[in-house]
Amino acid sequence: LEIIHGLGEGVLQELVYEVLRGYTGIEFEENEFFKHQSASVEVVFIT
- For the chain, what is the mean pLDDT? 79
The helix/strand/coil state of 22 is helix
Query: If DSSP states are collapsed to H, E and C, what string results for the chain?
Result: CEECCCCCCCHHHHHHHHHHHHCCCEEECCCCHHHHCCEECCEEECC
Q: In angstroms, how far is CA 44 from the centroid of its own chain?
A: 12
Spatial distance between the Cα atoms of 23 and 20, rounded to a whole number of angstroms: 5
Q: How confident is the model at residue 35 (pLDDT cuts 50, 70, 90)?
A: low
- Decide which of 42 and 35 is more confident: 42
- pLDDT, tens digit, 9 for 90 and up, residues 4-14: 766 667 777 78
- Decide which of 17 and 22 is more confident: 22
